[in-house]
Amino acid sequence: MDKSKLQLYFIMGTPNIGDRDPLTVLEGALKGGITAFQLREKGEGALVGAELKELAAKCKALCDEYKVPFIINDDVDLALEIDADGVHIGQEDGVVSEVRSKIGPDKILGVSTHSVNEALTASDAGANYVGVGPLFETDSKENAGAAVGPELVKEIVSHLPGLCIVGIGGITEGKASKVIHAGASGVAVISAIAKAENTEEATRNIKGRVTLALTGVEM
């Protein structure tokens, strides 16, 4: 997988944005420079059924317009139904090899991991990238677990230097460079963009930190 597509990975669902329009928030993030988007519709008040399918289709169309990969969290059937670019699953959401067989060889498959062993297993089973975290304390996900710190990214990179790794969990503009310097291909953010007053500006600021870090510049 092209690592540049994972530099700034935005994750969002309607429960993350209050009463704002999800498509407006997404477009602001796209204008600001996100390189991938994951629709993660989970939590209290999350859309289901036809409403979820309609939102997913609209998100995909918007991402297509900006040439940004559109990933769906967990729901493999929905991803196939609307021809999403890929699927992301957690450790409890399915067997990686079975999901890979179901979506075929060409779609993106990401897996949440919390240890070196989980990253190795995901890579061997056909994952294109792994999400590693939570790196810092976060309120965006229930039962996210204890923060593992950027050190885990370094450890996974030492075992799997060619694997695309996305750091996730409590990542802010100020912490983004630490994650990149640890060896991650990019950062995944929820609150830092979803809860920002100016979505486009917040996205652009985080993207700037990531870009500088990838060029080896310390901030």
Any idea where the domains of the chain sit in the sequence?
Answer: 3-214
The tokens of 18 are what?
């209050």
* Interval 5-29 mean pLDDT: 97
pLDDT in the model for residue 204: 98
pLDDT tens, position by position, 92-101: 988 999 999 9
pLDDT tens, position by position, 58-80: 999 999 999 999 999 999 999 99
Active-site option among 112, 123, 177, 185: 112
C-alpha closest to that of 56 among 18, 25, 117, 13: 13
Active site residue 20: no
- For residues 66 and 71, give the distance between their C-alpha atoms in angstroms, rounded to a whole number: 14
113 near 131, Cβ under 8 Å? yes
Question: Which percentage of the chain shows pLDDT scores above 90?
Answer: 91
pLDDT in the model for residue 143: 63
| Beta partners for residue 189, in sequence order | 10
Q: What pTM, to 2 d.p., does this model score?
A: 0.95
Active-site option among 60, 141, 178, 209: 141
Please report which confidence band the pLDDT of residue 216 belongs to, taking 50, 70 and 90 as the band edges: confident
- For residues 188 and 11, give the distance between their C-alpha atoms in angstroms, rounded to a whole number: 7
The topology (CATH level 3) of 3-214 is TIM Barrel (3.20.20)
Active site residue 204: no
Active-site option among 5, 40, 100, 107: 40
Q: Give the chain's largest Cα–Cα span.
A: 46
